[in-house]
Amino acid sequence: MNSIKSYISEHKDRMLNELLELLKIPSISANSDYEKDVIKTAESVKSHLEKAGCDHVEICETPGYPIVYGEKIISNDLPTVLVYGHYDVQPPDPLDLWDSPPFEPVIKETQLHPDGAIFARGSCDDKGQFFMHVKALEYMTKEGQLPCNVKFMIEGEEEVGSESLSWFVPRNKEKLANDVILISDTGMIAKDVPSITTGLRGLSYVEVEVTGPNRDLHSGLYGGAVANPINILTKMIASLHDENNHITIPGFYDKVEELSREERNKMAEAPFSLEDYKSALDIEAVYGEAGYTTNERNSIRPTLDVNGIWGGYTGEGAKTVIASKAYAKISMRLVPHQDWHEITDLFKKHFEAIAPKGVTVEVKPHHGGQGYVTPIDNIGYQAASKAYKTTFEKTPIPQRSGGSIPIVALFEKELKSKTILMGFGLDSDAIHSPNEHFGVWNYFKGIETIPWFYKYFSELSTKA
């Protein structure tokens, strides 16, 4: 197994170039202008899986974008690992904030990545990360080091809510049957502080529309005499948090899992510098729910944030107008036991209830998903922990993340298996932002670590 290091050094340039090629295709699932590119990316993933040694690869059609499925089954006596990832990416806008074009990958050194980082949309989320698994498979098949059956399922709609995958999974339970699900679509604490993600937050995403008068009005002739939808909307949004930054929606916290003091103390042991956190973001102070630390606020506590707000005149110069409508997009990050459908209902009821006379309010639910927690007493976690111990020479820290991969809870429900989140990105890699990047070191460290997971998982499975 030590041959993984020499395999990497022998094939380094090719492994990097193949990823760069994949990053050139703009697989933006949110924008239908890129439909052809999304499909082209699926085809490219298919051919990479074939070349890496899968015996059977197919592009599975769905009501939306296709799912690439590949497998290498060696023996019924061996455990099966299901690898999940997504080949779609977030829209790159605002384009003018990128230092180089988002779909023309370049490698540049940064302070945290002295060996270089790949700058491109999707480099970390998630093309670069799922591609580590393809390259690890290539090594294992070419060098006769594959100790498990492997299945790959790479989808093209993660960034827009995984609707087609939610359709696909319950219809293909047999095909997807596995002993553990392995995903690299999260991060780790630092290059010298390996961690395994043990929790993901749930999500409820809604759009709200406030309507006042039946047309846009002159703000002098009508101002002060009719409800201004933008004024009202901002007031309603402001009322959703109290002075302690608790969310005011009745029932919102009813099912929130409260962690014990002991668990919170354990969490606080993970290395973290508030000063570095603030200076990385150029902020003077952090902000959030009273009574919780920064790391608690962004992992074990639920949140409500406006993601976009618009209405009225936003063009050049000034136009004196009271808009007829105002809009906002709001995300609520949820924690274990909060049900996203229930929370969406609670939000809708509350938001409609607080609308003053003179406006009407419409709440449109978008996608959502349940949170997830991976227990650390299972062989999947133990195998991952041993794998990091081998390649980082440090035991990884279990850490809950603030992000969401809604499909993970569905995997547990439908396929009855646990998911292990082996992420190799850093928080500073700017996923979803301009100048997204992924460290070259991180990419190869992932490729090096993954085969060890297979080895230990196989060993621990036979013991069980």
Contact positions vs ligand BES (CB under 6 A): 125-126, 158-159, 161, 185-187, 200, 203, 367, 401, 403-406
Q: Least distance (Å) from ligand BES to the CB of residue 432?
A: 6
With a CB cutoff of 8 Å and minimum separation 6, the contacts of 309 are 233, 234, 237, 326, 327, 328, 329
Distance CA 262, CA 269 (A): 11
Kindly tell me which of 169 and 405 has the beta carbon lying closer to Mn ion. 405
**Shortest gap between Cβ of 128 and Mn ion (angstroms)?**
11
Under the binding rule (CB under 5 A), the answer on residue 185 touching Mn ion is yes
Site for Mn ion in 227-286 (CB under 5 A): none
Helices 440-463 + 3-23 axis angle, to 10: 120
> What is the distance between the alpha carbons of residues 25 and 3, in angstroms, rounded to a whole number?
32
Instruction: Check: CB of residue 323 under 8 Å from CB of residue 229.
Output: yes
Q: What tokens appear for 413 in the block?
A: 């429900």
The one of Mn ion, ligand BES, none whose footprint includes residue 187, by CB under 5 to 8 A per kind, is ligand BES
Which CB sits closer to Mn ion, 382 or 433? 433
Other Cβ atoms less than 10 A from the Cβ of 136: the count is 28
Q: Which is nearer to ligand BES, 302 or 311 (CB)?
A: 302
Least distance CB 345 / Mn ion (angstroms): 26
Of 125 and 157, which CB lies nearer to Mn ion in the complex structure?
125
Q: From start to end of 67-148, where are the E strands?
A: 67-72, 80-86, 106-108, 117-119
436 is an interface residue for Mn ion by CB under 5 A = no
From 1-9, 123-131, 416-424, 440-448, span contacting Mn ion (CB under 5 A): 123-131
Output the smallest distance, CB 94 to Mn ion, in A.
17
Q: Per CB under 5 A, does 37 bind Mn ion? A: no
Rounded Cα distance, 68 and 80, in Å: 18
Chosen from Mn ion, ligand BES, none, partner binding at 186 (C-beta under 5 to 8 Å by type): ligand BES
Q: How far is the CB of 439 from ligand BES (least distance, A)?
A: 15
Residues in the chain: 464
The CA distances from residue 358 to 155, 226, 232, 310, 364, in Å, are 45, 7, 10, 19, 20
Cis bond upstream, residue 282 (ω within 30): no
Q: How far is the CB of 53 from ligand BES (least distance, A)?
A: 26
The answer to whether residue 126 forms part of the interface with Mn ion (CB under 5 A) is: yes
Tokens of 48: 């990479």
- Measured from the CB atom, the residue of 79 and 102 that comes closer to Mn ion is 102
Q: Do 458 and 78 form a contact (C-beta atoms < 8 A)?
A: yes
> Which of 18, 37, 71, 125 is the binder for Mn ion (CB under 5 A)?
125
Give the closest residue to 324 by CA, choosing from 445, 421, 228, 428. 228
Nearer to Mn ion among residue 7 and residue 87 (C-beta): 87
Given the complex with ligand BES, which of 84 and 456 has the nearer CB atom? 84
Q: Which stretch binds Mn ion (CB under 5 A): 28-36, 71-79, 183-191, 295-303?
A: 183-191
Q: Which does 298 bind (CB under 5 to 8 A by kind): ligand BES, Mn ion, none?
A: none
CB atoms within 10 A of CB 57: 19
Piece of 12-20, 117-125, 169-177, 312-320 that binds Mn ion (CB under 5 A): 117-125
Shortest spacing between CB 299 and ligand BES, in angstroms: 10
Least distance in angstroms from the C-beta of 126 to ligand BES:
6
**H or E element in which residue 367 lies:** strand 360-369
Alpha helices per DSSP H over 316-378: 340-353
**168 closest CA partner among 186, 151, 155, 187:** 155
CB of 185 to ligand BES, least distance (A): 4
Residue nearest to ligand BES (CB): 403
Comparison of 54 and 405: residue with beta carbon closer to Mn ion: 405
Residue 121 or 455 having the CB closest to Mn ion: 121
Angle, vertex CA 152, rays to CA 148 and CA 156, nearest 5: 165
Q: Take residue 153 and report the two structure tokens written for it.
A: 């399922």
Q: Binding residues for Mn ion, per CB under 5 A?
A: 125-126, 185
